[in-house]
DNA sequence: AACCGCATAAATATGTATATTATTAAGTCC
DNA sequence: GGACTTAATAATATACATATTTATGCGGTT
């Protein structure tokens, strides 16, 4: 009666659990950019030992969300205008490749998944509150899934992983600014237009719209004076 | 009289040292693809403690050279035909972007660096021995520097980092096969042709040659029957 | 008196030794 | 022969020790 029938394979390890929680806090901006991440502080905050904390930090480093400084610990990766632009630019390049490739390899199944992902996203409210902005985790998950679906038929797990990493980076920037920048956006329409272009088989137009979508996001964040020094 | 004048900043940490050595051994194929990496075994082999070994493994994981299996340790990432093709394909896509962008942003300095990188590479022998193949670390370093130079003006550290990661992956494949596939290659001429096209400002041709270069490498490795099951 | 360098002390990151917990393998009973 | 139990193996986490960095304070110098 102790262990359950199928141990599946991944009894979640403490380090993994911590990784997830730390990641969420960095992405949500609860651990601010530039902040020093002292082991002891994190041990208290998440009530864990040093080893799993350390391991989680090391994993975060590969996501580019945390920096390691030899012999002087870890810190949340800082943000800057330049980085935002560079990440956005790179994402535009890579997702252009992924989208064109997906469209070149298009299958009925892929199109259906895309339509479905968009439909689900469109139904979900952006904010949990009608008054101001209150994060809706459901929307965020579906939004991520939608953008993933766009490049989902490119047949390269590497490219997809790179795009996801860049998406996470930009998610953090959005979260840092969203309380001041919301609403000011017509995401629904933009997403719809992209899907339309994809279904119409117009790759140039789809790419143009997708890039514009990302550029506009960047512009809105850049306009938030408070975010950067 | 103990510490040296300028402590610079990065007194190399044990974990970093181990990371470098492990990385080199995985890339060189001394730790074969698929091999289980038991902590204790590595502690003996590199005469180190568990914590630094574990930390090194975690870092390697982000490079995609080592896999982590929850609750059952680490293993060298396996190789396969499919992975080789996928990595090669992705590298072609990304370096195409990097090269076109670099050419669009071309500066005299960038061109000079490229010419220099190629000159140095061309002077260096591929193998340390005239009889058979014996790795020449100098050539490897210059080769890496040359390919880095090609995309060096693209103005995206992210793209460069992604390309480097893919280059490392492919380096491992090359090393695993090189003893059986060497010579069979006219790298010098291919590199020269790429540089010529770049200097002539012919981006389409440069990209065509670069992609052909990578595809040919992949083909040679794929032809090595022994490498894959 | 203000400033720089040096030495010391505190804080904190890194590493070791050990204990705990999960997985794999072996053995036993039905 | 298959499923359960038990023993061995090895991964994960804790507690502790060491080494490095950062902060503090003192004295000497301009």
Question: pLDDT, tens digit, for every residue of B40-62?
Answer: 999 999 999 999 999 999 999 99
pTM over 0.85: yes
List, for residues A203-218, the tens digit of each pLDDT value. 999 999 999 999 999 9
> In the prediction, which pLDDT does A48 show?
94
Cα angle, residue B13 at apex, residues A52 and A65 outer, rounded to 5°: 50
> In the prediction, which pLDDT does A185 show?
81
Best A16, A51, A58, A153 member to test B by mutation, with max B CBs in 10 Å, is A58
Arithmetic mean of pLDDT, B154-158? 98
Highest-confidence segment of A21-30, B5-14, B132-141:
A21-30
Q: Which nucleotide is nearest to B71 (CA to C1')?
A: D11
Q: Rounded mean pLDDT of chain B? A: 92
> In the prediction, which pLDDT does A9 show?
45
List of chain B residues whose C-beta atoms are within 8 Å of the C-beta of residue A71: 10-11, 13
> In the prediction, which pLDDT does A226 show?
84
List, for residues B76-90, the tens digit of each pLDDT value. 999 999 999 999 999
CA of B36, C1' of D2: distance in angstroms: 30
Look at residues A120, A13, A19 and name the one whose alpha carbon lies nearest to residue A65: A19
Put residue B85 in one of left, alpha, beta given phi > 0 → left and psi -120 to 50 → alpha: alpha
List of chain A residues whose C-beta atoms are within 8 Å of the C-beta of residue B92: none
CA of A1, C1' of C30: distance in angstroms: 20
Contact A9, B70 (CB under 8 A): yes
> In the prediction, which pLDDT does B11 show?
65
> In the prediction, which pLDDT does B179 show?
81
Q: How many whole angstroms separate alpha carbon A114 and alpha carbon A148?
A: 9
Segments of chain A scoring below 50 in pLDDT: 1-9
Q: Check if residue A132 sits with its Cβ under 7 angstroms from strand D.
A: no
Q: Does A17 touch chain B (CB under 8 A)?
A: no
Interchain pair A13, B70: CB under 8 A: yes
Residue B125 C-alpha, separation from nearest chain A C-alpha, in angstroms: 33
Interchain pair A155, B93: CB under 8 A: no
Residue B8 C-alpha, separation from nearest chain A C-alpha, in angstroms: 11
Q: B14 pLDDT exceeds 50?
A: yes
List of chain B residues whose C-beta atoms are within 8 Å of the C-beta of residue A156: 86, 89-90, 93
Q: B96 pLDDT exceeds 90?
A: yes
**In degrees rounded to 5, what are phi and psi of residue A218?**
-60, -40
List, for residues A26-55, the tens digit of each pLDDT value. 999 999 999 999 999 999 999 999 999 999
> In the prediction, which pLDDT does B181 show?
79
Residues 6+ apart with CB under 8 A from B160: B98, B148, B151, B152, B154
């Amino acid at each position: 009666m102790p262990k359950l029938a199928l141990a599946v394979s991944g009894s979640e390890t403490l380090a993994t659990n911590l990784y997830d929680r730390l990641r969420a806090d960095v992405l949500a901006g609860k651990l601010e950019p530039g902040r020093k991440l002292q082991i002891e502080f994190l041990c208290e905050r998440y009530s864990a030992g040093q080893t799993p904390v350390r391991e989680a930090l090391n994993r975060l480093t590969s996501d580019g969300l945390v920096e390691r400084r030899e012999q002087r610990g870890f810190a949340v990766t800082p943000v800057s205008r330049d980085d935002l632009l560079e990440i956005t630019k790179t994402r535009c390049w890579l997702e252009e490749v992924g989208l064109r490739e997906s469209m070149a390899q298009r299958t009925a199944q892929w199109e259906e998944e895309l339509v479905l992902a968009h439909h689900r996203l469109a139904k979900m409210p952006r904010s949990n509150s009608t008054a101001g902005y209150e994060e809706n985790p459901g929307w965020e998950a579906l939004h991520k899934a939608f953008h993933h679906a766009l490049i989902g038929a490119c047949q390269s797990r590497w490219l997809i992983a790179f795009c996801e990493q860049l998406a996470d980076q930009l998610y953090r920037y959005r979260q840092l600014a969203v309380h001041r920048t919301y609403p000011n956006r017509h995401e629904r329409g933009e997403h719809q237009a992209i899907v339309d272009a994809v279904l119409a088989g117009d790759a140039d137009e789809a790419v143009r719209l997708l890039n514009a979508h990302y550029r506009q996001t960047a512009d809105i964040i850049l306009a938030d004076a408070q975010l950067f020094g």
